[in-house]
Homo-oligomer: A and B are copies of this chain.
Amino acid sequence: MMHSAAPMMSGEEVTAFVLEVFPQSVEHGWKVERLDADGIAVSMAIGEQHLRPGGTVSGPAMFALADVTAYLLVLSNVGREALAVTTNVSINFLNKPAGDLIAHGRLIKLGKRLAVCEIHIHNVTGEAMVAQASVTYSIPPRV
């Protein structure tokens, strides 16, 4: 199934938590636009630090967006006690990005030990899918 229970944390709660434990992530310019039982939408305001010559967004910047989107989604569903760690990311770069980006993520598996998210990154303006990723997290046993 698509995992489809309501998340344990709201977009505001998970945002506040991540900014507290991981303040450097502010530099990525991410913002939770939607978080519900269907998944999450996270926007990224593109700045100079994200660009490559020619004005395209760098691969590492798109990876960082996929990574924070999956982390926010997993965290909001498993709760802040669980220190989930990324174990695998497979990312396909599909079309040249331009301007601000939005990532849509959904949980395609939420198990006791592993969670897997599928992430689609689009330009905020325009239909093009610029990147697609799957992100796997290992969820340690609760202490």
B134 & A132 in contact (Cβ 8 Å cutoff): yes
Q: Which B residues lie within 8 Å of A89 (CB)? A: 59, 63, 89-91
Task: Determine how close the nearest CB of chain B comes to the CB of A141; give it in whole angstroms.
Answer: 9
Check A51/B24 contact, CB under 8 A, given A85-B93, A90-B90, A95-B109.
Answer: yes
Interface string of A46-63 (1 = CB under 8 A from B): 001101110000111001
B128 & A108 in contact (Cβ 8 Å cutoff): no
Residues of A within 8 A of B (CB): 1-2, 21-22, 24, 27, 48-49, 51-53, 58-60, 63-64, 67, 85-95, 108-109, 113-114, 116, 118, 120, 127-129, 132, 134, 136, 138
